[in-house]
Amino acid sequence: MVVRKNISLETSHVKKLEPLIKKHSGNLSAAIRDAVDLAEAALHRYGTVEKAISSITVDEKELMVREKSMEPGKNVVLRSPIFHWLIKKTRGITIDKEILDELLDPLKINSILELDKTINRISTESGWNCKISLFCPDDVNPTTVAVEGENQYHRDFLAQLVVMFLVHNRCLDIDAVHRRATSIRIDLKSREEGTQPLAAIELFGYLNDAMDEFISKQDFWKNLIEIYSAVNYNMVSLHRDQYENLLASSTIPDTGIFESLSRKHIMNIPHPDFLKLLKRTHESLLIVDTIGFPDNREINIYHNYRNENAVLRLRDYYLSLLRANGHEYEAKCSASMMVLTHVCCSD
């Protein structure tokens, strides 16, 4: 092929080269050499002249859209450390559905493929440096969500957005979670209409109720935290009825807290559920240190009480509480441990 080195330029071409000509103080040859270098870089990235022109034009339009959306405050720019701090401090709190719908509009996303493209585009534009993959055999009912990325908090945040969208709009829930060093994979399952997505809430919204309570009674919880922290958690919390019974020297076992939590009379609480409730409440209230169940007949209660009479009263208290649930136990006590053995139960 013969290369002709004579160059013929129209006025329009010279006008397009004006920024480069000014850069080189009117040297047209130097400007053309810069234009050649730019063309080489564009071809190396996009492959063909047509793709280069098309892609660069699209990139400019998308950048203008994002810039324009920042003017009315629809989008904002956050430095990476601030964004990282925000999602770290709000971990365990699910994003409100209204906010989620603003980001992923269910009226505009009609297929799983559209959801995949939308969330990946948002991730790229927002600089989250994560990629999501949705596995779906029919483009309607996805089975797996996979998120890859170096930052764990970014991965979990992106996974929450996608999973909670599917929870609200496809009646799904989480079946299993698999974590690796740079990825998280979440297997999904269907759930019945009207039921709660318990697994999704447990993974992404385990602090929802706690934060709602804290916000509604901030002074109470701030004071309580200060008290518990000041005494290194050497506190015991009691139901008001039980405290009143203690003031009156009554031996009636406290059942109110269990009935309030289960919304059942203590006799109607299934015994395995009652034991779980007993462990959760008494360990949280710091009445004892630990309650363990080595088998289905024994309850091991670990405490740090030193007064013998107090230990005997504690033994009688647990025996009467279990009896109120319809089950008889025998007790053996040592210095810091109480072993309760199941004897029988009422019909």
Q: Which residue has the higher pLDDT, 312 or 347?
A: 312
Question: Each residue of 254-300: pLDDT tens digit?
Answer: 788 899 889 999 999 999 999 999 999 999 888 899 999 999 899 99
CATH of 236-345, one of 3.40.50, 3.30.365, 3.30.1050, 3.30.1360: 3.30.1360
Confidence band, pLDDT 50/70/90 cuts, at residue 89: very high
Q: List the beta bridge partners of residue 341.
A: 298, 330
DSSP, collapsed to helix, strand or coil, labels residue 177 as strand
Confidence band, pLDDT 50/70/90 cuts, at residue 337: very high
Least confident of 44-48, 78-82, 228-232, 332-336: 44-48
Instruction: Compute the CA torsion angle 179, 183, 188, 193 (nearest 10 deg).
Output: 100
Query: Which residue spans of the chain are classified as CATH 3.30.1360?
Result: 236-345
Confidence band, pLDDT 50/70/90 cuts, at residue 247: low
The CB density around residue 151, as the number of other CB atoms within 10 Å, is 16
Q: What is the largest CA-CA distance in the chain?
A: 111
pLDDT at 54 over 80: no
